[in-house]
Structure 1
Amino acid sequence: MPALHRSFRSSVPWLILSLEAVFMALFYLLFSDSNAYISYSDLQDVSHMLIFGFGFFLTFLKRYSFSSTGFNLLIIVLGIQCSILMENALAFLMKRITHLPGEGDLSSIEEAAASMIAVVISIGAVLGKINPMQSIVMTVVEIIVFYVSTWIKMHFLEVEQRMCLVHVHLFGAYFGLAVSSRFSEPSPKSEKNASTPKSDLLSMLGTLFLWVFWPSFNSMLALEKDKVIINTCLALAVSAVTAFTLSGLTTKDGKFRMAHIHSAALAGGVTIGYAAESIKSPWIAMILGLLASVISIVGSFCLQNCLNPTLKIHDASGVHFTFGLPAVLGALTQVVFMVIDIQAGLPSSDYVVILRIGAFCFTISAALIAGFLTGFILNFPLLKPIPASKYFEDQNYWEFPHLAVGF
């Protein structure tokens, strides 16, 4: 144990400082001043989702709460800087290729923060199984791949920026699952891979933060903000109600299960984000919220009992049925609405439908391929992967004064 602590002490701080030095140098090269127009309300709401929402959302493990909240903050503050640089680096390269003048623009900080949702969702799939060094490397790699895939979708598949941003749930879930496939499963008898009433309560607090601020995320880049906010609120409301209903119906004793509410209450917000601007009647948004909650709870049962044992993928925080499956439903719903518009003679075309299907398939493919490669990289001895017996343990990284364990 002490040797493990010393090895992290000699590597993690230096990795963070080196990465921050690189960021500072790149900011110096790309940005000449800090003048930019930003919507602080949007930035504030997304920050609440990232820091409070996902920070508490991932605290369900009884012996990994320090790491869940602490490392969440670390990867967010590093990741936002990396996101700003990636977004401007791609624009800078295009300007150099086309010989157009221009400098970096800091007005993209809200989108940079929102893109971090993909990273924290992915981290949830491998929660407790990777160390801080691996978390940082995974964050940087995922941000680079996410922005490159976004650039491809915007320039070759003609997907608008708002829709690319909504793909964070889809990309984050399947990237995280692919990374998780490269790590050993914890022992079924591991007492650390469990929750307590206190950890479940803290995790539910994170769900509440996410539930409250989800309409802000969905409407951040929307042209019809009011419509998106109303549809998202209705979908979230029905999703939460359905979660309680199905939880009471599916448990043996008829009692509510916190894990069901924890995941399915957010499913409606994930699904509705893809088609919120296309929905003209509120009852459609409500039906989508109901279907999203159903697919989340039913999916959790089917995946945990059928798919996960077969594929040997341990989804630590259930990101597949909390974010992945509802996102798939949302993407398919968007395609269905476009087909309906074509049949009704509204402005749309088969070409656009094909592009949307292509963007959906490309997002999942890019996430899976990049995730597998990232999982392979994270298992390099240089990054000091931890054995399965040390999973889900705060004492590997944090100082507890009442225990004789140092960092």
Structure 2
Amino acid sequence: MPAHYRSFRGSLPWLILLLQALLLLLFYFFVPEGAGPALSPGSAAFQDVSHMLLFGFGFSFLFLRRFGFSSIGLNLLLLVLGVQSSVLAEQALPVPLQRQRLDGLQRITKAVVSMTAVVISTGAVLGKANPVQLILMTVVEVLAFHGSRWLTQVFLQLPDSIPMRHVHLFGACFGLALSSRFSEPAPSSEKSRRTPRAELLSMLGTLFLWLFWPSFNLLLDEEGRSRTISNTYFALAASTVAAFVLSALTTKDGKFQMSHIQSAVLAGGVAVGSAAPRIESPWIAMILGLLASLLTSLGAYCLQRCLNPALKIHDTSGVHFTFGWPAVLGGLAQVVLLVVQNWDNLPSLGALVMIHVGAFCLTISVASIIGFITGSILNLRVFRTTPVSKYFEDQCYWEFPHLAVGF
């Protein structure tokens, strides 16, 4: 007999319709027609980042054997709603610095880059949060990320490119704090286990992310220097080599494990995102990639077995060691390179370092606090509609022509 699932007909369609109608109304009043050229050099990079969010993250979340429809479909829904919300937030926040008039491509490019934080956070609660919770989470996190950028510009007087480079860190901290308010699934749950076919599809998404990551870091660099691309590629290459080595060293029989590879091959691209414009030689980027892969591999091997049970936090996709720890390493590398390159200007070096460290800590604080509050609100009875026994189930939200058994 098929299981009975709660109907979302009375809440989900109306929430989506209401949100889209509100966005349409706000666009009419507050988003002017963009000025600028019809096609700019950044259009190719924008397409690459769009592929990352749609195909890369969408497929990389397919490792759950019975949550494939939701991983792909809900990712698309959150992306289109989040980009619209991000464009509005970008237009509404008052920036004390002189605002440059952005054309349509520039506006949507910043919005898509900002949505990376939301997609990363989604990985922490993948299979546990229902669509209503995910939509509300998206809107809140978009506003929180833009608020964090605004605070950095107002109080620390830093350009917008600095907090934009912390997008991975923000997404990981927000997602981890959000996940702490969700109930843990049963440790022996069969639905959360990986299968070879699911891991193969998930690795396909990781390959998309790996391929397009240099374009992502290029969009974070306002000057668009070519060394940002080369530094990102060499960091990714070094982290990939280290991922295979560490995977073989940490498994019982010395064989490669796909989950280890997926977690660590992107670590170099994440870590170099904050420091890429300041890295003058490729070997520095390669060392950073090796260290990031080592940090991620140790995190995947140790943190899930030691730290997570102690803190009672279940991170479905491991975003804290896949994106969080490499982002922390990248932030530290940025400060070290800042000290080395400004050593001759000692009187102002201390203040400069403190400002960058302050921006780093501000990102972590805003993401963690807002994420914890958001998770607490979303787990009120009015929003919490999926019991723990129905975690990682596509049939809660999608119609199947057959029963869940065997798919």
Q: Which moved more, 1:222-231 or 1:35-44?
A: 35-44
- Residue identity matched to 2:258: M
1:362 Cα offset (Å)? 0.9
In structure 1, the partner of 2:206 is: 207
Match of 1:305, SS?
Answer: coil
In structure 2, the partner of 1:56 is: 59
- Residue identity matched to 1:85: L
In structure 2, the partner of 1:123 is: 122
Decide whether the 8 Å contact of 1:207 with 1:262 is kept in 2: yes
1:292 Cα offset (Å)? 0.3
Mapped to 2, the partners of 1:227 and 1:55 lie a distance apart of: 29
Q: TM-score, normalised by structure 1?
A: 0.93
In structure 2, the partner of 1:402 is: 402
In structure 1, the partner of 2:383 is: 383
In structure 1, the partner of 2:337 is: 337
Decide whether the 8 Å contact of 1:126 with 1:315 is kept in 2: yes
Say whether 1:88 aligns with 2:87: no
1:283-362 paired onto structure 2 within 5 Å: 283-345=283-345, 349-362=349-362
Mapped to 1, the partners of 2:183 and 2:256 lie a distance apart of: 31
Mapped to 1, the partners of 2:309 and 2:257 lie a distance apart of: 22
Could you list the per-position Cα deviations for residues 120-141 of structure 1 after superposition, in whole angstroms to 9, with x for gaps in the alignment? 0000000000000000000000
Decide whether the 8 Å contact of 2:45 with 2:216 is kept in 1: yes
Distance change (3 Å), C-alpha of 1:60 and 1:105: same
In structure 1, the partner of 2:43 is: 40
Say whether 1:147 aligns with 2:149: no
1:105 Cα offset (Å)? 5.5
Decide whether the 8 Å contact of 2:31 with 2:88 is kept in 1: no
In structure 2, the partner of 1:167 is: 166
Match of 1:301, SS?
Answer: helix
Gaps of 5+ in 1: none
1:249 Cα offset (Å)? 1.0
Match of 2:305, SS?
Answer: helix
- Residue identity matched to 1:334: Q
- Residue identity matched to 1:392: F
Distance change (3 Å), C-alpha of 1:349 and 1:404: closer
Q: Which moved more, 1:102-111 or 1:63-72?
A: 102-111
Gaps of 5+ in 2: none
1:36 Cα offset (Å)? 4.5
Mapped to 1, the partners of 2:35 and 2:4 lie a distance apart of: 47
In structure 2, the partner of 1:136 is: 135
Q: TM-score, normalised by structure 2?
A: 0.93
In structure 2, the partner of 1:194 is: 193
In structure 2, the partner of 1:112 is: 111
Could you list the per-position Cα deviations for residues 184-213 of structure 1 after superposition, in whole angstroms to 9, with x for gaps in the alignment? 111011101111111101110110000010
Could you list the per-position Cα deviations for residues 305-354 of structure 1 after superposition, in whole angstroms to 9, with x for gaps in the alignment? 21111100001000011000000000011111112223345996211110
1:156 Cα offset (Å)? 1.5
Q: CA RMSD in A?
A: 2.2
In structure 2, the partner of 1:271 is: 271
Match of 1:381, SS?
Answer: coil
Match of 1:195, SS?
Answer: coil
Mapped to 2, the partners of 1:191 and 1:404 lie a distance apart of: 13
1:160 Cα offset (Å)? 2.1
In structure 1, the partner of 2:258 is: 258
Match of 2:287, SS?
Answer: helix
1:384 Cα offset (Å)? 3.4
Mapped to 2, the partners of 1:232 and 1:246 lie a distance apart of: 21
1:166 Cα offset (Å)? 1.4
Mapped to 1, the partners of 2:334 and 2:348 lie a distance apart of: 13
- Residue identity matched to 1:116: M
- Residue identity matched to 1:127: L
Distance change (3 Å), C-alpha of 1:104 and 1:40: closer
In structure 2, the partner of 1:26 is: 26
Identity %: 58
Decide whether the 8 Å contact of 1:232 with 1:273 is kept in 2: yes
Mapped to 1, the partners of 2:237 and 2:330 lie a distance apart of: 17
Mapped to 2, the partners of 1:318 and 1:61 lie a distance apart of: 13
Distance change (3 Å), C-alpha of 1:30 and 1:185: same
In structure 2, the partner of 1:75 is: 78
Match of 2:192, SS?
Answer: coil
1:167-246 paired onto structure 2 within 5 Å: 167-222=166-221, 223-246=223-246
Distance change (3 Å), C-alpha of 1:263 and 1:348: farther
Mapped to 2, the partners of 1:135 and 1:36 lie a distance apart of: 35
Could you list the per-position Cα deviations for residues 237-284 of structure 1 after superposition, in whole angstroms to 9, with x for gaps in the alignment? 010010001101110111000001101000000000111111111111
Distance change (3 Å), C-alpha of 1:26 and 1:150: same
